[in-house]
Structure 1
């Protein structure tokens, strides 16, 4: 019994000891587990922290990736643009290279032309000097001839426009007091022949034997000219006469009786000299210019259609005053018209 109790006590002791050991072991494991748990908690926190960091880093990387992608796309576009710009620049470069080559060729051409122009300029300068020398010689010759001409121009048949330089323009009008009754005057410058003579007052100045009329103006010095349109008039006498010529008796148109005139009659032209001189005109005159040089006793007639000389009376034995003279031959011969000219001082 005692043994049994002993065994029981011993058994209880052993069990208690075992329990204590187990408890200690469990306690140790519990502490380990607690430590492990704590460590796991810390590890969890660490992992959570790392996870959060990784998550942030992932998000940042995503953003960086997007940024890089955007920059990549921009760079790709810029690269493409640069490629295009490069092609454009290459094209321009090639064009500039061609233009440069063309400019070089043009420069060479211009240089050649420049050299040619320089040579031509030098030649022109020499030619100018030669021409100037020849001009000076010609000018001297002209001056010499002009001096000779100035001393003897009266004896030459100048063009009328040139001859007018030495004469005064005479504004000639018709004098009705001298007009034959068969003549009709209009505007003081035009004369024609009527169907029958007019009933006009008789006076000492009027022509009665021939259908003539004089100009109002009289000349007793200097040089004068006037123009008369004859147009299609078929019969006329034109010129000058002394103021005191015969008018009532039979009148003869000749220098001996104080007339210096030319005539157109039956399509023929005559200088009313003694005897009459037939004239040959290259062109029928429509306007005749009459030049009177009283001092040199000359009267010249010019055809203004071709500026040709018709006839000149020289050594006219002028004395007293002279007046423009006009005559018509037929009633249907047309009319004569005196051109109005402004008076100019003698050149």
Structure 2
């Protein structure tokens, strides 16, 4: 009986010690600056607007050019070599050939999207696979699952659904990183890529129930 009591006492002490250590770790973690917070200081924050000349006919842009939604039936838009025809995408006005840039997108009410960057000269028509080999560096939310658009695609596990997503582009380093700006957690990074030519922010919706993507106005 005494041995059982001693074991119970030791187990209870061990449990309390584990809980104490967990509390210490949680407290210390909260004091560490979020990686995305201090990294933002190294990047030029940009106030993006969307380039209507690149928008697929199914995509409707707000007047100020910061919100994209799906519109049916498709709009009748003038033919343009820059316009996406096969993929329902639109590009940001930013043209990057050097430097470090950062922007945020509100995705709280969007249910299926691709976000990232692409080369300015990617194919707009025909069958196009979004991958680094084809000039796309993006992540995807589709049917409740998140993916890094590598080749093959990389399944991503997020702690929680982001309300705002941050995109960090470092041209010289060849890096594109994605963060959940709600809690500062890292989502995915394309690292040491072979960037050349001009890169531009990329936005894609999948269907009429995709919901809106909204570019955050930065201070």
Class of the TM-score when normalised by the shorter of the 2 chains: 0.7 to 0.9
Larger radius of gyration: 1
How far is 1:232 from its partner?
2.1
Query: Counterparts of 1:1-20 in structure 2 under 5 Å?
Result: none
Q: TM-score, normalised by structure 2?
A: 0.83
**2:40 maps to 1:164:** yes
CA distance in structure 2 between the aligned counterparts of 1:254 and 1:283, rounded to whole angstroms: 25
CA distance in structure 1 between the aligned counterparts of 2:184 and 2:88, rounded to whole angstroms: 29
Moved over 4 A (4+): none
For structure 1, the residue ranges without an aligned partner over 5 or more in a row are: 1-157, 343-347
Q: Which residue of 2 aligns with 1:269?
A: 146
**2:159 maps to 1:243:** no
Q: Which residue of 2 aligns with 1:257?
A: 134
Q: Which residue of 2 aligns with 1:215?
A: 92
Query: Counterparts of 1:62-77 in structure 2 under 5 Å?
Result: none
How far is 1:282 from its partner?
0.4
**1:326 corresponds to which of 199, 203, 206:** 203
Q: How big is each residue's C-alpha offset from its partner over 1:144-163, in whole Å with a ceiling of 9 and x where there is no partner?
A: xxxxxxxxxxxxxx621111
Matched position secondary structure for 1:177: helix
CA distance in structure 2 between the aligned counterparts of 1:239 and 1:333, rounded to whole angstroms: 17
For structure 2, the residue ranges without an aligned partner over 5 or more in a row are: 1-33
Q: Which residue of 2 aligns with 1:314?
A: 191
CA distance in structure 2 between the aligned counterparts of 1:326 and 1:298, rounded to whole angstroms: 18
CA distance in structure 2 between the aligned counterparts of 1:171 and 1:240, rounded to whole angstroms: 15
Q: Which residue of 2 aligns with 1:177?
A: 53
How far is 1:330 from its partner?
1.1
CA distance in structure 2 between the aligned counterparts of 1:264 and 1:244, rounded to whole angstroms: 24
**2:163 maps to 1:286:** yes
CA distance in structure 2 between the aligned counterparts of 1:170 and 1:219, rounded to whole angstroms: 11
**1:205 corresponds to which of 82, 98, 113:** 82
Q: How big is each residue's C-alpha offset from its partner over 1:49-89, in whole Å with a ceiling of 9 and x where there is no partner?
A: xxxxxxxxxxxxxxxxxxxxxxxxxxxxxxxxxxxxxxxxx
Which is richer in helix?
Answer: 1
How far is 1:170 from its partner?
1.3
Which is richer in strand?
Answer: 2
Q: How big is each residue's C-alpha offset from its partner over 1:15-50, in whole Å with a ceiling of 9 and x where there is no partner?
A: xxxxxxxxxxxxxxxxxxxxxxxxxxxxxxxxxxxx
Aligned length: 186
State whether residues 283 and 305 of structure 1, in contact with CA within 8 Å, keep that contact through their aligned partners in structure 2.
no
Q: TM-score, normalised by structure 1?
A: 0.53
Q: How big is each residue's C-alpha offset from its partner over 1:126-176, in whole Å with a ceiling of 9 and x where there is no partner?
A: xxxxxxxxxxxxxxxxxxxxxxxxxxxxxxxx6211111111101111000
CA distance in structure 2 between the aligned counterparts of 1:241 and 1:185, rounded to whole angstroms: 19
CA distance in structure 1 between the aligned counterparts of 2:108 and 2:127, rounded to whole angstroms: 29
CA distance in structure 2 between the aligned counterparts of 1:250 and 1:170, rounded to whole angstroms: 32
Query: Counterparts of 1:226-241 in structure 2 under 5 Å?
Result: 226-241=103-118
